[in-house]
Amino acid sequence: MDGNGTEVGVAADIARSWLLVNAHRRELFDAARASRADQVILDVEDAVDPKHKAQAREGVIEWLSRGNRAWVRINDRSTQFWHDDVSELAGTPGLVGVMLAKTEAAEHVTETFDRLGGTTPVLALIESAVGIEEAVTIARARGAFRLAFGSGDYRRDTGTSADDLAMAYPRSRLVIASRIGGLPGPIDGPTVGTSHAVLREQSGTTVALGLTGKLCLQVEQVPVVNEVISPTPSDVSWARDFIAGFVADGEVVRDGSDLPRLARARKIEDLATAFGVRPSS
């Protein structure tokens, strides 16, 4: 693992499924690690009652120190829990990075990054109107690795419905901010419920709006999210055929659409290789 969040398997900068696990339920940790999730996040914030946070944090540190690897969602900058989180997690073996809850300012990211030693990547979880408004400065902050959308808290903060149209603006803001800040695509909020049809539809919206990952609340959600966010086999076939044709023609640009299509084809090919997607026959 390096400061860019890269590790064996699907690298964190292109990871599709981010599985949140209640950090107070240690019996879930090994199953999460063994799942198909691209990345695992042990949650010591909203998932844990305040009186259990210290115990949950200790359990996370002990598990990580035994050769396991995961991200940790820590508490927001305004709380004493944040101070405890960064102080005790700093230098923990196996800590891939942290997800910072309720990020609303660039300094929330930089202070977290610095307190953790200056090498631990920070996922900025944006969950409020203020966070959405400050998304560009957050994305440009030293230590910021990717942005993530806390969609449930955002709806509570703004009174916005869960309708796709109502939620398109904050999602698009995160996509634009990530691009301006030079970050990978943002991570969408989770789908609540057990319906795979709903999850598939909402993951399709994630892709359509330009987000490239999604939080998962259950192990069973992971395969659906991975499938929908990955290039399709037909996409891979088109990409390989286009690249092969371009090379066969001497790599000569014939019109204004060639370079954009070539860039798209190469991106699809790279993702297909990372995700193990085969072209359609």
* Distance separating alpha carbons of residues 177 and 50, to the nearest angstrom: 32
Considering its fold, how many domains does the chain have in total?
2
Mark whether 177 and 269 lie in a shared domain.
Answer: no
**Domain ranges, residue 193:** 17-229
Q: Is residue 119 part of a domain?
A: yes
Mark whether 98 and 199 lie in a shared domain.
Answer: yes
Mark whether 221 and 256 lie in a shared domain.
Answer: no
Mark whether 255 and 131 lie in a shared domain.
Answer: no
Mark whether 65 and 182 lie in a shared domain.
Answer: yes
Q: How does pLDDT run along the chain (281 residues), one tens digit per residue?
A: 333 343 446 999 999 999 999 999 999 999 999 999 999 999 999 999 999 999 999 999 999 999 999 999 999 999 999 999 999 999 999 999 999 999 999 999 999 999 999 999 999 999 999 999 999 999 999 999 999 999 999 999 999 999 999 999 999 999 999 999 999 999 999 999 889 999 999 999 999 999 999 999 999 999 999 999 999 999 999 999 999 988 988 888 888 888 999 999 999 999 999 999 999 87
Mark whether 256 and 170 lie in a shared domain.
Answer: no
Q: Which long-range contacts (CB under 8 A, 24 or more apart) does 14-17 make?
A: 14/184, 14/212, 14/271, 14/274, 15/39, 15/213, 16/212, 16/213, 16/214, 16/225, 16/226, 16/229, 16/230, 16/275, 17/213, 17/214, 17/216, 17/221, 17/222, 17/225, 17/226, 17/229
* Distance separating alpha carbons of residues 25 and 47, to the nearest angstrom: 10
Mark whether 240 and 212 lie in a shared domain.
Answer: no
87-128: pLDDT as tens digits = 999 999 999 999 999 999 999 999 999 999 999 999 999 999
Q: Is residue 114 part of a domain?
A: yes
Q: Is residue 7 part of a domain?
A: no
pLDDT for position 10: 93
pLDDT, mean over the chain: 94
Q: Residues 6 or more apart from 55 whose CB is under 8 A from it?
A: 24
Mark whether 241 and 179 lie in a shared domain.
Answer: no
Mark whether 87 and 130 lie in a shared domain.
Answer: yes
Mark whether 175 and 261 lie in a shared domain.
Answer: no
DSSP string, 41-65: EEE-STTS-GGGHHHHHHHHHHHHT
Mark whether 201 and 99 lie in a shared domain.
Answer: yes
pLDDT for position 280: 87
Residue 173's domain is classified under what CATH number? Answer: 3.20.20.60
Mark whether 268 and 209 lie in a shared domain.
Answer: no
* Whole-structure pTM value: 0.93
pLDDT for position 2: 36
